[in-house]
A and B are shown apart, each in its own frame.
Chain A
Amino acid sequence: MDVTKIKNIDKITYRGEFDENTSPRKNLPEKASKMLPSIREAIIKSGLKDGMTISFHHHFRNGDYIVNMVLDEIAKLGIKDLTVAASSLTSCHAPMIEHIKNGVVTHIETSGMRGDLAEAVSRGLMDTPVVFRSHGGRADAIASGDIHIDVAFLGAPTCDIMGNANGYNRYEENATMCGSLGYAKVDAEYADCVVIITDHIVPYPNTPCGIPAVDVRYIVEVENIGDPNGIMSGATRYTKNPKELMIAKQTAEVIEHSGYFKDGFSMQMGSGGASLATARFLREKMEEQGIHCDFALGGITGQIAEMHEAGLIDKILDVQSFDLRAAESLKNNRFHAQIDGCFYAGYDFVGAAVNALDFVILSALEIDTDFNVNVLTGSDGVIRGAIGGHPDTADGAKMSVVVGPLTRGRIPTIVDHVQTVITPGVDVDVVVTDQGVAVNPRRPDLAEKLQEAGILLYSIEELKERAEKIVGKPDPIKYKDKVVGLALYRDNSIIDVIHEIDESDMSR
């Protein structure tokens, strides 16, 4: 008998009768229990030390309590010099400013930042520049080990005692939900230690689940994981803003005549007012022309969920649910699938879903005459946004449509140079504003199709001049030399840097 082909033959050799005391099966649930009484206990048990990296997800949006609760406990334990690798941060994370000042947090990796924390970072709060990555870029960096997460603290609306965690609740009506846990799934898979923080322990098995028990080391039950109103609103509201409706109507027409609007198409849409309204106009066209959609990807709204339930969209791939309606659909509909960040947009993953998109509709803070798009910094140079999946989808989709008003108050959207390049112009095909459409000269094929359909096209320079005629030419923003942020493209190479703003001349 030759057993040399069986590589692990030494390990599997019979070792005599099982010792009852060491068989994990016999001792459940006490011995294998992952339940810990407090976040403090979980931090200690996780082995968190100075200089390590901790991670969080942003599926609770502006209602998140997890980041602040965990950092407060870490600070009390005297642990310092941590890297926070969050999928994104919002204005509710302003208390992190104190933890940066007292040395608990010394580096941040995130998709975006808003509010007081972003203002402080833009004014030079941190010694190390914040690294901003796209959702796909972050997933890749975690999978490849470029971001090595020592401990992931992941909030979940429900979890069973084994650690199967979900963004919804099958046991209680009207319980807090966040829908998909897509970005957190990557952390759960690759982090050395995963701590689930929940406010609803539910019966085993909490399946189908967002995060499987095999990835989870500890579970902590707390009073509240977040503010339900901040986590999610009932349904994203349909805009009544006439500018947004004009943009949406025009966008739907552009899509209709782009050559990509045919039976079996695929799409992604953002949650902005114009983008949502586009879904409604597109739905009308689908129903009129008997066209159905193979799959909708991305951040999912109630509008998309309703189209799925009406049979207009076959499948939904959901990395992040934008409203309760979408979260309910994820819970109830078999073909509304929960996908992780690598599946969604990983650059190193050939099969990333963004690469199968026909078109994507994206918003922008600024677009320049080279079609570069900024979604991270405001026109005053202050960080106030997030990269999100912008470059991932714009690059992956066959056609990217960037929508926005020509001007916002006195701020022009179309400018000579964006403050920060997030998505390069090569990835942007069409720009739709309330005052005209421009097609990237790299896409003469698209321009021809749209012109044939009678859509009036302008050059991007013409749109820029039009905006300037209304609001005037803005003075350039003044920056200091210090770099406060690095913006990474979807392949995790630096595409732009963000400087500290210079306000020395603002006190006139």
Chain B
Amino acid sequence: MKIVKPASAGTLESSDIEIRIEPADEAGIEIHLTSSVMQQFGKKIEAVIKGTLEELGVESAYVDAVDKGALDCTVRARTAAAAHRAAEDSNYTWRVKA
């Protein structure tokens, strides 16, 4: 999946996360995260965003994430939605992750 334009998903409501994805010049996924639970879950949230993008085959992206205490399932859903929008890709593969 190739990121071709800036796009976002999610809100700044409590228990949600706002994910904004932009094309990046260099290879790799760069994440800038701010979170209301930074100390407790910051690393975990970054890992979930990165993992979700890698699963979607994103190789290069800049991610700006503002987290308000979202659960992992929410982080995955918002990241995937933002990535599809940023890639102008509507080929969703719906499934429940165990």
Residues of A at under 8 Å CB distance from B? 379-381, 409-411, 470-472, 474-475, 477-478, 503, 506, 508
Q: How far is the CA of A472 from the CA of B42 in the complex (A)?
A: 12
Q: How far is the CB of B52 from chain A (nearest CB, A)?
A: 15
Asked if A409 and B39 make an inter-chain contact with CB atoms under 8 angstroms apart, the answer reads: no
Asked if B14 and A477 make an inter-chain contact with CB atoms under 8 angstroms apart, the answer reads: no
Interfacial chain B residues near A478, Cβ < 8 Å? 39
Q: How far is the CB of B76 from chain A (nearest CB, A)?
A: 13
Asked if B14 and A475 make an inter-chain contact with CB atoms under 8 angstroms apart, the answer reads: no
Q: Which of A380, A470, A471, A472 contacts B39 (CB 8 A)?
A: A380
Query: Is B85 among interface residues, defined by CB-CB distance under 8 A?
Result: no
A-B CB pair tally, cutoff 8 Å: 49
Asked if A472 and B72 make an inter-chain contact with CB atoms under 8 angstroms apart, the answer reads: yes
Q: How far is the CA of A111 from the CA of B68 in the complex (A)?
A: 29
Interfacial chain A residues near B40, Cβ < 8 Å? 379-380, 410-411, 474-475, 477
Which residue, A381, A477, A478, A506, has most C-beta atoms of chain B within 10 A?
A506
Which residue, A411, A475, A477, has most C-beta atoms of chain B within 10 A?
A475
Q: How far is the CA of A411 from the CA of B37 in the complex (A)?
A: 8
Residues of B at under 8 Å CB distance from A? 14-15, 33, 36-44, 46, 68-72
Asked if A472 and B44 make an inter-chain contact with CB atoms under 8 angstroms apart, the answer reads: yes
Residue of A nearest to B36 (CB): A409
Asked if B68 and A409 make an inter-chain contact with CB atoms under 8 angstroms apart, the answer reads: yes
Interfacial chain B residues near A508, Cβ < 8 Å? 33, 42, 46
Asked if B41 and A410 make an inter-chain contact with CB atoms under 8 angstroms apart, the answer reads: yes
Interfacial chain B residues near A474, Cβ < 8 Å? 37, 40-41
Q: How far is the CA of A459 from the CA of B39 in the complex (A)?
A: 28
Residue of A nearest to B40 (CB): A474
Q: How far is the CA of A379 from the CA of B35 in the complex (A)?
A: 13
Asked if A411 and B69 make an inter-chain contact with CB atoms under 8 angstroms apart, the answer reads: yes
Which residue, A381, A409, A503, has most C-beta atoms of chain B within 10 A?
A409
Rank and list the top 5 A-B pairs by shortest CB-CB distance, nearest first. A409-B69, A474-B40, A410-B69, A409-B15, A410-B37
Q: How far is the CB of A28 from chain B (nearest CB, A)?
A: 60
Q: How far is the CB of B47 from chain A (nearest CB, A)?
A: 11
Q: How far is the CA of A101 from the CA of B14 in the complex (A)?
A: 34
Asked if B14 and A409 make an inter-chain contact with CB atoms under 8 angstroms apart, the answer reads: yes
Q: How far is the CA of A45 from the CA of B36 in the complex (A)?
A: 48
Which residue, A381, A472, A474, A506, has most C-beta atoms of chain B within 10 A?
A472
Interfacial chain A residues near B41, Cβ < 8 Å? 410, 471-472, 474-475
